[in-house]
Chains A and B, each alone.
Chain A
């Protein structure tokens, strides 16, 4: 069995990419399975998806303990422990990172043991489609190449999956063309068979009774949301043009996450560690004093812990 895990942010198309790979494998004559995992999050939150294929029936379900290939749709996830990107990665695992940086530069930044390969898929999407979210077909293509699938089933899989989402035929064709470019340009790495350790029995903890103040699903800590930094969810960030601000406080009122505070001069101060980039403040500001700026790799959202 070949096991591929996709990590992305809600809205980037990691789930669709996993489906393109699953369908491409299925059309290649393999047994295949794909599945996403997500909770109650929104656009920008870390999501993952799994594709498995092989000659034998797929018995594994759900979470993937031993991926052969990990596809990272957003390099900022490398630094987000909530993405659990490192789970089950060994020295044999192929780790694809969507980044214009060279593999060696990513290696220097991250402590992951996998064999890294990169391609700036987002830049390619911006160049060809004018938008950075349209990367599902491109990620699917990169994954298909690294997983050893052929071009024709990939082309068909892109048509089926994007077609199911209601994408218009001319756009599907452009996706196929650009996806095949990505397929050709990603640096291929041979699969190194993962020598799985012999199964050892899991050590269990025997549950013991604890007082209801511990044993009830109850949060007594105040203000603990600050522990979960969500700045990395942004695609755009709101930026204040100070001389346009009339101090009306509407941004403060409308911010759904309470990350805007007002200073003594009645000017908003944005907590970029937690702002998710919903742009409601930008939309509501009556004087257009808040503007949306695209996040760049290495920018504010990037360095948000």
Chain B
């Protein structure tokens, strides 16, 4: 298997190419654009036998993606941030049609104020849409997760669309060595898409997403979606085993890092987990028994895997790279709900909010998180949400406020 330096965006495009998709409706948005540019080039050059169509907006793009998938085509598309929000109502229709396309979201913080760098309020806004969600830490994982996503999505026990998430900048524009799976092996892993409930034949007309008035049919179909999503946990397990056998890399719904004898555990997602792992190494070198749990699958929520990983720990800190105003960290809420009925639940749960809009998290910041978490573990009293903001950031912001208010004049 050949390995090469590749951005997360290019790895995402390779995922779609190796999955041999049929149709790609596209609309560009920073920091996703390189994905659709690469796919456009390959479709033009004949390396990928797919129909590539540029649309007038993300709303049209998602509508086209869902409609094409409903005809039985394998569909790929990608967006980010405001684009995902613009496509929002269509997401719910696509999952309701049980149309198992794969959508890559390149996380970028939401306006206002407008920015380009990453946090996860965009993708987590879609957490209740019925799409499954896989969040990647490395460029390799982006590519591999897209292949796994199609395999899981198109399984008869699931038939739900998937969002594969990667961070803008810290993965999208970052190159790392990526090993390209052999196309023959990918074909073994990912058989052709032959859905029984989807298709478009004049001889066999059917209507999809029909109106249902009164709660009885509606509730039935919603329950089916929920059960399908839960099935994805088992299907993921099978796909992970098959993927490992063919390609030698293993991905589970959660990933533990130095958890074996860890007293306190930091919970994170996405690319920033790499920085968290480095901070765990530093803390370990100083004799602290800490570890990291990375949540890779966000939907379906891997409650059992989380409980298994955190049972009996002293304290758990959840670092949310998102903020639900008036509530706190989105993932913290779900973690707390998962651990409530666990008899040996951690003595303290701490909630930290950091890395918003690409905000830097230094080794020193993680050091402070570990210290506060250990203290909470000893006292048995959780803390948070703690809004991480350093003294240095505060000074910089104060200076910007002075400029914005006109109290800084030009030196002459």
Contacts and interface: CB of A to CB of B under 8 A. Distances in A.
Interface stretch (B100-108, B171-179, B337-345): B171-179
A29 to B, nearest CB: 11
B207 interface: no
A222 B406 contact: yes
B404 A205 contact: no
Interface string B175-195: 111000000000000000000
A227 interface: yes
Contacts, number: 113
Contact of A62 (B170, B371, B388, B404): B170
Given A33-B175, A219-B404, A199 B393 contact: no
Contacts of A22: 5, 175
Interface string A193-231: 000000111111111000000100111111010110000
B291 to A, nearest CB: 14
A40 interface: yes
A58 B176 contact: yes
B410 A226 contact: yes
A116 B139 CA distance: 35
A26 B116 contact: no
A35 B169 contact: yes
Most-contacted residue by chain A among B5, B274, B401, B407 (CB, 10 A): B5
A227 B362 contact: no
Nearest to B404: A219
B230 interface: no
Contacts of B358: 62
A31 B116 contact: no
Given A35-B170, A62-B360, A199-B282, A204 B388 contact: yes
Given A19-B5, A61-B170, A26 B177 contact: yes
A164 B410 CA distance: 44
Interface residues of B, number: 47
Interface residues of A, number: 40
A127 B368 CA distance: 53
Contacts of B407: 221
B361 to A, nearest CB: 9
B389 A204 contact: yes
Contact of A199 (B177, B364, B386, B390): B364
Nearest to B285: A199
Contacts of A222: 406
A207 B406 contact: no
A207 B252 CA distance: 37
Most-contacted residue by chain B among A39, A59, A219, A226 (CB, 10 A): A59
B278 interface: yes
B105 to A, nearest CB: 19
A173 interface: no
Nearest to B7: A35
Most-contacted residue by chain A among B170, B176, B368 (CB, 10 A): B176
A202 B359 CA distance: 14
Interface string A155-196: 000000000000000000000000000000000000000000
Contacts of A224: 403-404, 406, 408
Given A61-B174, A227-B410, A202 B365 contact: yes
17 contacts: A32-B175, A33-B175, A35-B173, A59-B277, A62-B358, A62-B360, A65-B363, A199-B367, A202-B391, A220-B405, A221-B403, A221-B406, A222-B406, A224-B403, A224-B406, A227-B408, A227-B410
Given A31-B177, A202-B365, 4 more contacts: A61-B274, A204-B386, A204-B391, A222-B406
